[in-house]
Amino acid sequence: MAGYVWSAVTQAPTRELFPGIRLRPLWSGANGAQAQVVELDPGSCWEGVDVHAPGPEEVFVVSGVFNDGERDYPAGSFIHAPAGSWHVPQTRTGCTLFVFYPEG
């Protein structure tokens, strides 16, 4: 269909953000919106605080258990983090996240 964009996680380039935390970009929109998969190895933790700016962050836990520094979110969880909020992404078990930034 005209206008559709397709990508496969297995073919997306991988960029290591921190030890054990990888980003796989899937799509970027003209307004700065982004869709990506983030993979966290067991025991990995974001270095510092992840602040959501300029807009919100939407997270769906595809597999494993994600922890935001406060609580665990098992596979199937959806998290909306409003602009200006923050967390420290981490996992004890390992996890895969689908992350969407509607405003970049």
Mean pLDDT, residues 63-81: 97
What pLDDT score was predicted for residue 46? 94
Residue 54: left if φ>0, alpha if ψ -120 to 50, beta else—which one?
alpha
pLDDT per residue as tens digits for the range 29-67: 988 899 999 999 999 999 989 998 889 999 999 999 999
What pLDDT score was predicted for residue 17? 95
In a domain, residue 7? The reply is: no
What pLDDT score was predicted for residue 2? 76
Q: How many domains does the chain have?
A: 1
Domain with 88 in it: 12-101
Q: How far apart are CA 29 and CA 94, in angstroms?
A: 29
In a domain, residue 19? The reply is: yes
Query: Which residues, other chains included, contact 93 with Cβ-Cβ below 8 Å and sequence gap of 6+?
Result: 42, 64, 65
25 has pLDDT over 80 = yes
CATH code, 79: 2.60.120.10
